[in-house]
Amino acid sequence: MKPEGRPGAWLPVALNQGHAYRDRVRPADLVNPSGDPLHQPSLSGFYARRYPHSSRALWRQRLAAGEICRNGQCLQADGPLAPGDRLVWHRPPWQEAAVPGLPSPLFDDGDLLVIDKPSGLPVLPAGGFLEHTVLRLLERQVAEGQLDAAAGLPRPVHRLGRFTSGLLVCARREATRAWLSALLRESTAAPPAAGAALGRCRKLYRALTAPLPASLAVGSCRRITTPIGRCPHPLLGRIWAAGGDGALAAESDFTLLERRAEGCLVAVVIASGRPHQIRIHAAALGAPLLGDPLYLPGGGVRPTVLPGQGGYRLHAHRLWLPLPGGQVLALEAPLPPPLLGSADGASASDPDPMPG
């Protein structure tokens, strides 16, 4: 199945309506890393630990501006905290950057909805984006009658990085979202047999990497099993990277399709769904995604860069999804020009051409 998807019009820079960030103070928030009680637990200290992108001095400024409430009372000065305190930061409206709009769905059966997400469009609110996200745009389409409101709101089942393009699966029913989430977390690396039902899904990406080792021949595959966990990061507190605390098993197969002057064209099959998995595993292979500002060779991170910064080329190209009735839904998002192979869309070494 090779449906045609066209990107929607760009959304210009726009001021949103602000947002309320809600937190509840836990006993663990009032102790230091060694487990000893904090000498003087304070609101500014709590927020600086919870949201390390801002300093304590900046949080005090927000308190003075009346942006923070504790247990329903608006505060204007720093003060102590107690377990169970309910905090709300009323972030004032801010400008959101211009992003590409939603294209027409590639597939919609009244429950499942699949789009070809353009690079640059965030999936869920985060990282300075609230209204300029796939979720909010879907909500707007339902409200404006572009999608059937009676069928319900299609919600993204998984995430793609802001600058990752390609197949994004949404579902309207809660039971479908739960089922799909489990499938997409743990996909299989076994190729789908033509006409056979799969117990799990299969996801294939295409990307550009920095030059791969000369020992890797065109058409050959390298499996990466580097675990992925949370590591310290000065801007975020913690970030997903190679190794780290609570590292989770992860598996990616990189097939070299072409060598180019600037880097390598690869196809990637992932057998797990860890955050930033392909970016981390490409770096662990010694060839980060070409233009990736965050991940370094070996899988470490640059301390001054956030995950949402772009520059890399990664595309969720194909998806085989088993349906409850035993059929397999095969979807393909057309490749953007930089990721086309020399055979104009399908390299001779591509590991998984679409069946049929």
The predicted-structure confidence for 232-286, as pLDDT tens digits, reads as follows 888 888 899 998 888 999 999 999 999 999 999 999 999 888 889 999 999 999 9
- pLDDT band of 351, cuts 50, 70, 90: confident
Tens digit of pLDDT for each residue in 304-332?
Answer: 998 888 999 999 999 998 887 778 889 99
Q: What are the φ/ψ torsions at residue 279 (nearest 5 degrees)?
A: -60, -45
- pLDDT band of 184, cuts 50, 70, 90: confident
Show the DSSP H helices in 76-169 as ranges.
134-143
For residue 102, is it left (φ>0), alpha (ψ between -120 and 50) or beta? beta
Joined together, the tokens standing for residue 116 give: 């070809």
CATH superfamily for 96-185 is: Pseudouridine synthase (3.30.2350.10)
Q: Apex CA 249: angle with CA 248 and CA 250, to 5°?
A: 110
* Pairing verdict, β 68-70 and 73-74: antiparallel
Return the pLDDT at 195. 40
Quick one: average pLDDT of 163-184? 91
Return the pLDDT at 189. 41
Joined together, the tokens standing for residue 286 give: 């010694």
Instruction: Give yes or no for residue 34 having a pLDDT over 80.
Output: no
Return the pLDDT at 197. 39
Instruction: Give yes or no for residue 344 having a pLDDT over 60.
Output: no
Residue ranges, CATH 3.10.290.10, the chain: 19-91
Joined together, the tokens standing for residue 202 give: 């299969």
CATH architecture observed for domain 194-356: 2-Layer Sandwich (3.30)
Q: Which residues, at least 6 apart from 322, have a Cβ–Cβ distance to it below 8 Å?
A: 183, 197, 198, 199, 200, 201, 328, 329
Residue ranges, CATH 3.30.2350.10, the chain: 96-185, 194-356
Instruction: Give yes or no for residue 192 having a pLDDT over 50.
Output: no
**At the topology level of CATH, where does 19-91 sit?**
3.10.290
pTM over 0.75: yes
Return the pLDDT at 43. 92
